[in-house]
Amino acid sequence: MCGIVGYVGKKQAAPILLDGLSRLEYRGYDSAGMAVYDGEKIVINKTTGRLKVLSELTHDGATMSGHIGIGHTRWATHGEPSDVNAHPHFNKDQSIAVVQNGIIENYLKLRNLLQDRGYQFLSETDTEVVVHLLDYYYNRYDKNPLTAVTKVIHRVEGSYALGILFADHPDVMYAVRKDAPLIVGIGEEGNLIASDVPAVLKYTRDVFFIENEEIAVLTEKSIEFFNMDADPIRKESKHIDWDINAAEKGGYEHFMLKEIYEQPKAVRDTISPRIRDHSIVIEELGMTDEEIRAVKKIHIAACGSAYHTGVTSKYVFEGLARIPVEVDLASEFRYRDPILEEGALVIVISQSGETADSLAALRLAKDRGITTLGIVNVVGSSIAREADKVMYTWAGPEIAVATTKAYSCQLVAQYLLALKFAQVRGQITDEQLGEYLHEMEILPNQIESLIDNKHKIQKFANRYVAAKDVFFIGRGIDYAISLEGSLKLKEISYIHSEAYAAGELKHGTISLIEDGTLVAAVVTQEELYKKTISNIVEVRSRGAYVLAVTNEDNIEIEKTADCVIYIPKTSSYFTNSLAIIPLQIFGYYVSVGKGLDVDKPRNLAKSVTVE
């Protein structure tokens, strides 16, 4: 996820680009850059760091004179945050400049092809492939920019939004998108492109939403659209009446809700580039089959929600790959002098890649000579840099303090890893792998259907805004889901809640159940249905009101629970990805109902960089 902006018109472009980018910083903030045509040539300024570094570098845009330009604020995916990886990117004679938001999935193949044709790459980004490919087709097809753009979109796979300048056509800006957002703003003194509406609201409220594989061609006075075969198409503009604040959240009331809604895409982005020809390819991991076979034990260390994904992962890795797994809170791991023997692999999971305890756990393992693997969302973060191996979650920037989409991506990243290990170690057949991969590929749609049907849990949440204590219970993976469900509720609603392995209730907790206490029971593991249902009976007979989250085929549970939320059918290993959705929504609406600051709960920080 990155932010792109473009302007062509009467005014100076650079200050408009900087202003637009400042509205898109929530989309990425590790580096930023602009390309402006100065009357003779395209000039690029780009730098690592937040947008203010670019503003300082260009004296708020004053050092870049010109009436047409494109800008970018980056959230690194391919290649760590650095000046050279920042956008825009140039072709070899600096006559074409490109900014991109998205992921070009087949970039390695294209990069090899282009290198064979003599193209030299300066950066590690997937975007550079696009600019060289444009150069190739532009020179091959009579220097026709539109033809070059259509040829490129026939060749690239993945999701992308592009803003493009050609020095030979200095009054025209090109833009195209597929599965990454892009809009065109109709300004009075020029036209604009942007990843999102807030970037153009200062100049216009009339926009076109570009659809997949549509190309926009903008000049100061005209906006034309073409399909991927270069045939002209007609589009209707829309008038936007949101205020800027709401627009930054894409019209959602809070970033948390926006990020809940972004989960299907984030999960798809994390899964789909890794599934190729019925097998799993994790490009950046760099672990050979030999290395995977040599792993004797896995240690997982993480904090908070990331730790909860690790608890799930223990069941998944042990069940699928038959490797023993120990899971620790990173803050415990670092001080308990863990026994790390030869053949151990230490996996550290972190959205930010900067959590102090997780980083310390990683360093401890490295000091002991143990191979480390970071599962990280922020490219170029400390954990990503220091771990021996890395696997990225492609959640994009997460703004709300309470994690939702990064959590979901951490889960699916670990399913992929467990399946990869299971296949390489001969624990599952190709046929079984195919079935699991199919289940994984439909997870995003299943998550979407749960979000779309949120009304029942939303209404339920409204009844519990005054709750004092809530208990979450489950067994096996359902216990791991309970841990996260409970954290989601307590951290943003300030209601006391606890998660218990359901079998533990009798060993103390059940004494806390009173008339009306809410117990959320997670019941997705078929072989454990009966056991958890008997725990539900026990708490109900002591006055508890029971909300059950269970599989769609478990209708029997209606005889026992007071309210039931069903999740679609999936492998028992993957139920966390579905069952957590209603629990996130529950926590969210309880917090909204209490009128709290959902995105910034008291005392909490997004990234815990101190002990």
Is 351 an interacting residue with respect to ligand F6R (CB under 6 A)?
Answer: yes
Sheet holding 158-166, edge to edge: 89-90, 96-104, 158-166, 173-178, 214-218, 223-226, 232-233
Query: Which of 43, 301, 402, 544: binder of ligand F6R (CB under 6 A)?
Result: 402
**End-to-end Cα, the chain, rounded Å:** 30
Q: What angle do CA 459, 550, 560 make, to 5 degrees?
A: 80
Supply 380's token pair.
């170029």
Contact between 157 and 276 under an 8 Å Cβ cutoff? The reply is no
- When the beta carbons of 160 and 472 are compared against ligand F6R, the nearer one is 472
Under 8 Å between Cβ of 131 and 149: no
220 binds ligand F6R (CB under 6 A): no
Among 150, 195, 372, 403, binds ligand F6R (CB under 6 A): 403
CB nearer to ligand F6R: pick between 309 and 524: 309
* Nearer Cβ to ligand F6R (220/259): 259
Answer yes or no whether residue 329 interacts with ligand F6R by CB under 6 A. Answer: no
356 is an interface residue for ligand F6R by CB under 6 A = no
Residue in the shown chain whose Cβ atom is closest to ligand F6R: 304
How far is CA 296 from each of CA 290, 388, 537, rounded to the nearest angstrom?
Answer: 12, 17, 41
* Nearer to ligand F6R among residue 295 and residue 402 (C-beta): 402
Which of 535, 526, 385, 416 minimizes the C-alpha distance to 471? 535
| Residue 58 interacting with ligand F6R (CB under 6 A) | no
Q: How far is the CB of 305 from ligand F6R (least distance, A)?
A: 3
CB of 574 to ligand F6R, least distance (A): 20
Asked if 164 contacts 96 with a C-beta cutoff of 8 angstroms, the reply is yes
- The answer to whether residue 263 forms part of the interface with ligand F6R (CB under 6 A) is no
Closer Cβ to ligand F6R, 85 or 403, answer by number: 403
Nearer to ligand F6R, 316 or 487 (CB): 487
User: Is 195 a residue that touches ligand F6R (CB under 6 A)?
Assistant: no
The C-alpha atoms of residue 440 and residue 408 are separated, in whole angstroms, by 12
Residue 308: CB minimum distance to ligand F6R, A: 8
Question: Is residue 591 close enough to count as binding ligand F6R by CB under 6 A?
Answer: no
Q: How far is CA 547 from CA 251, 447, 534, 540, 568, in A?
A: 30, 19, 14, 11, 17
Residue 360 sits in the site that holds ligand F6R (CB under 6 A): no
C-alpha pair distances (Å), 565 with each of 47, 109, 405, 474, 486: 48, 45, 21, 15, 16
Which residue in 2, 178, 409, 420 is the catalytic one?
Answer: 2
Contact status: 237 vs ligand F6R (CB under 6 A)? no
Q: What is the dihedral of CA 566, 572, 575, 576, to 10 degrees?
A: 140
Q: Which range of residues in 24-32, 39-47, 139-147, 345-353 is near ligand F6R by CB under 6 A?
A: 345-353
CB 41 within 8 A of CB 167: yes
Residue closer to ligand F6R by CB (options 223, 492) is 492
Give the residue, chosen from 48, 58, 95, 358, that forms a contact with ligand F6R under the rule CB under 6 A. 358
Q: What's phi and psi for 510, nearest 5 deg?
A: -60, -20
Answer whether 179's CB lies under 8 Å from 102's CB. Answer: yes
Q: Is 42 left (phi over 0), alpha (psi -120 to 50) or beta?
A: beta
Q: Single out the residue of 482, 428, 174, 184 nearest to residue 319, CA to CA.
A: 428
| 371 is a site residue for ligand F6R (CB under 6 A) | no
Coil, strand or helix at 229: coil
By the rule CB under 6 A, 262 interacts with ligand F6R:
no
**Is the CB of 45 or the CB of 355 nearer to ligand F6R?**
355
Burial class (CB in 10 A: 0-12, 13-18, 19+), 39: exposed
Contact assessment for residue 527 and residue 575, using Cβ atoms and an 8 Å cutoff: no
Tell me the C-alpha distance between 101 and 84, whole Å: 16
Question: Is 2 marked active-site?
Answer: yes
Q: How many residues bind ligand F6R (CB under 6 A)?
A: 15
**Closest distance to ligand F6R from the beta carbon of 412 (Å):** 15
* x-or-dash string of contact with ligand F6R, 478-507, rule CB under 6 A: ---------x---x----------------
Q: Min. distance of Cβ 604 from ligand F6R in angstroms?
A: 8
Out of 352, 497, 524, 550, name the contact with ligand F6R by CB under 6 A.
352
Give me the 285-324 binding string for ligand F6R, x by CB under 6 A, dash otherwise.
------------------xxxx------------------
User: Which residues would be at the binding site for ligand F6R (CB under 6 A)?
Assistant: 303-306, 350-352, 355, 358, 402-403, 487, 491, 607-608
Residues designated catalytic: 2, 606
